[in-house]
Amino acid sequence: MKLTSQPILNALGLLLSSSILSISSLAAAESSPQELKEVEVTAEKESDTKPVKGYQAKRSTTATRTDSELVNVPQAITVITRDFIQDQSMQSIADAVRYVPGVQAAQGEGNRDQLVLRGNQTTGDLFVDGLRDDIQTYRDLYNTDRIEVLKGANGMIFGRGGAGGVVNRVSKKAGWDPVRDISVSYGSFEHRRIAADYGQGLSDELAFRLNAVYENSNSYRDGVELRRYGFTPTFTIRPGDKTQIELSAEYFKDERIADRGVASFIGTDGSNLNNRPYRISDYDKFFGNARLSPTETETVAFNAAITHAFDNGVQVKNSTRLAYYDKYYQNVYARSSVTTAGTVQLGAYRDNTKRENLINQTDITYSAHTGNVEHKLLAGAELAAQNTDNKRLTPAGGENLPGNFAVANPTTSNVAFTTTSRNQTSDFTVAAFYLQDQIVFNPHWQAIVGLRHDHLETRYSDLRTGTNIEVSNNLLSPRAGLIYKPTENSSVYANYSISYVPRAGDQLIGLTIPAGASQPFKPEKFINKEIGAKWDATQNLSLTAAVYKLERENVQAADPSNTGNSILLDGQETIGLELGASGRITDQWLIMGGFTLQDGEITETLPNTPATSVINKGAQLAMTPTRTFSLWNKYQINDIWSVALGVVSRSEMYAATPTAGSSTLLPGYTRFDAAIFAKISPRWDAQINIENLTNKDYALFAHNNNNITPGAPLNARAALNYHF
């Protein structure tokens, strides 16, 4: 059969025509509008007045002065959130740190917050919104959104001090998310308290918030009471998308009885070694005179913070705090242990302090790249001036009251404060500059390096003797951390940091002047080495672990070979393991807890005169138990009812670092707490908190060997909250 080309050409023409028609049809279909199904995307709105919900915090600006995820910060950090504060009915820093591994509260002579962070006692490492707040007083939590506790040496971020760690209160901020809360509580020992929190946006550019509190309560201790009140108005101004201004003021007054607790018991052998608290079951007995032991602190503070983001990626924040503190406290208290004859010595003094703080701090941040490496750069400066006047009065014969007092009624009213034993002023200035780089090498490796230089000037005057001293310090505080991230939500890190404490002490009230010392004002040095791991096990549950070694150097001690001279020694170290958990295990079950194993001891014998005051190498540090454990569980039964059970436990510890001639041991204890919560309606909820369910007799903490605070017996507190 003969084939011709014409049929093939006809077929090709038909195929080409069909293709052109198909392409034209597709083009027309693509150009015509297509109706798609509506898809709804929802997400919970982030509140600008309550940025952290539940028990878990994932971010912080405190540890690095930049907004950073906690899993990427090479340091042990515990955040006490607002929800946890409310569920525990906390009202003090001491309440909050019960659930912080590595931290203990101390008595603070019954007139102030005093903490022990990794074996180091401090009253000066307390901050508010990253600025120093170091007057010796009690801090109420009525205006606190959360508390961030940073463990280890923190000199690079916070400057002088920060030896064992710092405690930073993050204040409640004014925002456009409305807040309208009133809380009233009543409880055992005539606890009475009311607090209010009101805030809203006044315009698109201006928001306002006011927090206020009033409390008038008694105590399980005879004659001990407190009255406190305060208010804090706050404004947030947003004149543009890239600028925010925060302004606030605070007036707070705290009046209470300075409670030094009970004495120790000397023991049947008549020695002062391994004394025990005197009859803790007699928890209400007051040694001294409650009526003659008042303390009062008045705080007036003004705060301003301005943040601006430039178009080139640079962000600047400037913060200022001006604070005036006026405080006095008076003590009539036990100055000895109870003898086998049933007697005790008493002492008395009155202390007055006035302080003015002016602090200005500027942080500049910028993100940059060098090749594939990311950098978050921080440059900052801090300028501060602090003026302190301090005066102490005693009875005519000195602080020791004459005679012995029967322990059956260890009190006296024959006290008149007529002699000035101390009258001094100190002016302290700081000029500090710091640099930090947070580096991301790749998805698995990060680092943080920083260095701070502090120039400190201290001018001290003893108005009684006419002595005037000027001391200057230049301190370099480095920090370096390396982070390995096996996954996006976990990290393993190593950290090294150094802090210094000037010879003027953490409160800078007066200078320690050792006669004959070759370097009399060389500051104490603290070196922290830490490795740890962090894991956000779920979106709502965080687990942490840290192993650390904290060393203290340049501790002042008397020179045993030359009376009147002093020497500087390597003094102490604390080695420990900390574990922490916070967040939600299930939708109904929330937890917060921590566990610590630590060994704090003196590393070199600290000689003194007399011989009984010598602290021997290997002596355990004061208020540093070997083991602590705490765990709080809250379970949501249904939409209305929730219940909670908590346990707080510690091993025995010394009230003060033991010397060759005296020591007092505080027995360990385990205490159980509970709570019941009811969501009555969208506007009303209530809770009852019960402390010490088993009515355990125990020693809570101490100030020294002879001032020990008994723990509270079984007690309860009910709160009714109204949201309008």
Lowest mean pLDDT among 300-309, 336-345, 480-489: 336-345
Residue 25 counted as domain residue: no
Residue 42 counted as domain residue: no
Structure tokens at 674: 């509970």
> Closest Cα partner for 441 from 377, 484, 480, 478?
484
Residue 335 counted as domain residue: yes
Residue 482 has pLDDT above 60, yes or no: yes
The vertex-177 CA angle with 641 and 636, nearest 5°, equals 15
Per the document, the length of the chain is 724
Give the model confidence (pLDDT) of 647-675 as tens digits: 999 999 999 999 888 899 999 999 999 99
> Closest Cα partner for 470 from 432, 423, 504?
504
Cα separation, 93 vs 140, in Å, equals 8
Residue 247 has pLDDT above 60, yes or no: yes
- Tell me the range of 315-324, 414-423, 556-565 where mean pLDDT is highest: 315-324
Residue 71, domain CATH: 2.40.170.20
> Closest Cα partner for 163 from 577, 572, 604, 546?
572
Residue 43 has pLDDT above 60, yes or no: no
Give the model confidence (pLDDT) of 588-619 as tens digits: 999 999 999 999 999 998 887 778 888 899 99
Residue 512 has pLDDT above 60, yes or no: no
Give the model confidence (pLDDT) of 156-211 as tens digits: 999 988 889 999 999 999 999 999 999 999 999 999 999 999 999 999 999 999 99
> Closest Cα partner for 82 from 100, 114, 57?
57
Residue 520 counted as domain residue: yes
Question: What would the DSSP string read from start to end of 134-168?
Answer: -SSS----TTEEEEEEEES--HHHH-S--SSEEEE
Residue 41 has pLDDT above 60, yes or no: no
Residue-level pLDDT at 161: 86
Per the structure, the count of domains in the chain is 1
Residue 105 has pLDDT above 90, yes or no: yes
Residue 11 counted as domain residue: no
696-708 average pLDDT score: 95
- Domain housing 651: 59-723
What is the value of pTM for the model shown? 0.90
Residue 83 has pLDDT above 80, yes or no: yes
Give the model confidence (pLDDT) of 211-242 as tens digits: 999 999 999 999 999 999 999 999 999 999 99
Residue 50 counted as domain residue: no
Mean per-residue pLDDT of the chain: 90
Give the model confidence (pLDDT) of 310-322 as tens digits: 999 999 999 999 9
Q: Which residues pair with 531 in a beta bridge?
A: 494, 547
Residue 46 counted as domain residue: no
Residues 6+ apart with CB under 8 A from 308: 242, 243, 244, 315, 316
Residue 165 counted as domain residue: yes
Share of the chain above pLDDT 90, in %: 78
* pLDDT class of 1 with cuts at 50, 70, 90: very low
Share of the chain above pLDDT 70, in %: 89
